[in-house]
Amino acid sequence: MKNKNILFAATLCVLSFCSPRGNCDFQKGPLKSTKVLGFSWENCGSAKDPAVMKALSLSPDPISIPGDLKANAAGSTSVAFTSPLSVNVTLEKEVAGFWVKVPCVEELGSCHYSDACQILDILTPPGQDCPEPLHTYGIPCHCPFKAGDYSLPDSDFYLPNADLPYWLTNGNYKVVGVLGSAGQELGCLKLTFSLHSA
């Protein structure tokens, strides 16, 4: 725990933790190996939502952790994003053919974040340059976000070892994130993937 439609927001939020060929700040400790397979995404909001993800690509498939990741993303918003900017995340795991909601545990899982802007300020204190590659491509990492188009060209990252929570075990997952402000939905992103850890 960066930016435009909930997909763009969630994707860049994750990517902004990582500097190219560097480390990511959200890891807690070592894990032998983890693979993320079959990653896919789609916009899940109303046609009237002002924020939309236009493109997102992560490779290779499977993504290995630790390992190299190549990513690109593009999104747009027709309105400015200002604080407070809420994010509602619903995480579900497939269990015996049924999708079961994973509760919010230590701010991971199906959680509500009242202001993503405050989280971004913690990750990159105001006054500091945005982390790479956001800085290079002029992508902001603080609120407010101006209306317009945002894009991250192909960028290389290194994902170090990660200590996943005990409840995030092997299986199929789907994540739905809803970005909102003043009670209005701004955008919705749905991610699906399979997780396999050794």
- Residue range 15-28: mean pLDDT, rounded: 35
**pLDDT tens string 76-115:** 999 999 999 999 999 999 999 999 999 998 888 999 999 9
pLDDT single digits (tens) 179-190: 999 989 999 999
Per-residue pLDDT tens digits for 37-75: 999 999 999 999 999 999 999 999 999 999 999 999 999
Residue 13: what pLDDT?
36
Q: Residue 136: which of 151, 146, 117 has the closest Cα?
A: 151
Confidence check: pLDDT of 26 > 70: no
Q: b vs e for 120-155, b when ≥16 Cβ sit within 10 Å of the residue's Cβ?
A: beebbeeeeebbbbbbeeebbbbbebeeeebbbeeb
Domain extents in the chain: 6-197
Single pTM value for the model: 0.81
Instruction: Give CA–CA dist 1/17, Å, rounded.
Output: 8
Q: What is the pLDDT of residue 67?
A: 93
Mean of the per-residue pLDDT values of the chain: 84
CATH topology of domain 6-197: Ganglioside M2 Activator Protein; Chain: A, (2.70.220)
pLDDT number for residue 32: 61
Q: What does the pLDDT read at residue 12?
A: 36
Per the CB < 8 A criterion, the answer to whether 154 and 74 are in contact is no
Distance in angstroms (rounded) separating the CA atoms of residues 8 and 127: 23
Whether pLDDT at 22 is above 60: no
Please state the rounded mean pLDDT for residues 122-132: 91
Say how many residues make up the chain. Answer: 198
